[in-house]
Structure 1
Amino acid sequence: MAEDGLRIDKFLWFSRLARTRALARKIAQKGHIRCAGRRIDRAHAMVRTGDVLSVPMPGGVRVIRIDTLPERRVSPKLVAEVYRTVESLDDRKR
């Protein structure tokens, strides 16, 4: 499973970037997430280890690099093992 990739909605939920899977699906379908510069507008778009995502958050945009693809929702303590923040652009810096 992890070698082939993971649906973006599952990744957002598993890595705690979204509170629920339904919310993760809505975020993905809005078309505001970018994967390697490419706009994502489908919940079933695949992400892989090493992909760089731009994810809009309430305080601004977070740019993250995927380190591992979890098989289930991770605990808050293990989030650092799933992805690494490359850049964080908050509203004050724009």
Structure 2
Amino acid sequence: MVVEDRYSAVFKLDRVRPALVADGLAECQVRWPSVPVIFAETRQLAEEWTYRFLAAPPSPAEVRVWAQREGHVVSDRGRVPGRLVEAFLRARSGDT
């Protein structure tokens, strides 16, 4: 979740209680810890962060879970073979 403002702006809101918004953000982070909450001061910074986040490579742990679920033999430690990363990316994009 990308918020186009500073976190401090939450406490300057006048149409809603700032504490309600801050509590809601904290609850979201606790309930969905794998969903990052990013505060970007401007739309340009928000777009830049989003672009880089979406272009980032998958984590080895994410590829391992997928590979094991798909029946591939993969070590629980060390580097994930490039062929599995490529297969993961193809599967994620819907290509075969």
TM-score (norm 2): 0.25
TM-score (norm 1): 0.26
Structure holding more strand per residue:
1
